[in-house]
Structure 1
């Protein structure tokens, strides 16, 4: 199944389609999204890298969590959520994430 994490409507549609298939879900791997694109806003007006690499993964995980819990209960096997990232955390601002400038080209 194809998924674009930069647009929350796509994430919601993906989850809806996945759940409709009735498949079990034991593992979810949230792989890093994009790194250092030119400043762009997503369709949701969120800075594209933040939307894709953070918000999209958060929403995906949140919407699939009940499916994972149900699968674990039915199969007797605990599920796993793995978050993978790039080493971009090494290139942060000294004050950390500038949440007040998240959609600002200088942020």
Structure 2
């Protein structure tokens, strides 16, 4: 079975996580996973970018340790590594998600 490289929990670095989450498309992916849609295939995400660009965004999140990806058949399923992130950087992910949701609410009511 094919596998994808993921950093071990102790290898996850704050700068890399923050850099990965600085992009609005990647925050959108993380928000969708955090909102209870774990184990979603890449094609299930409605993103405003091309397929190759979305592949890049998923790879950046995986290599930063924010998401886990695994093959199921020909699909790649995505899951948020929230427990690993919480253990490594307590409170970081909930704070970022709260800010991202506020940002989305503000832009949709404008």
TM-score, scaled to structure 2: 0.30
Q: Which has the higher helix share?
A: 2
TM-score (norm 1): 0.31
- Mark the structure with the bigger radius of gyration: 1
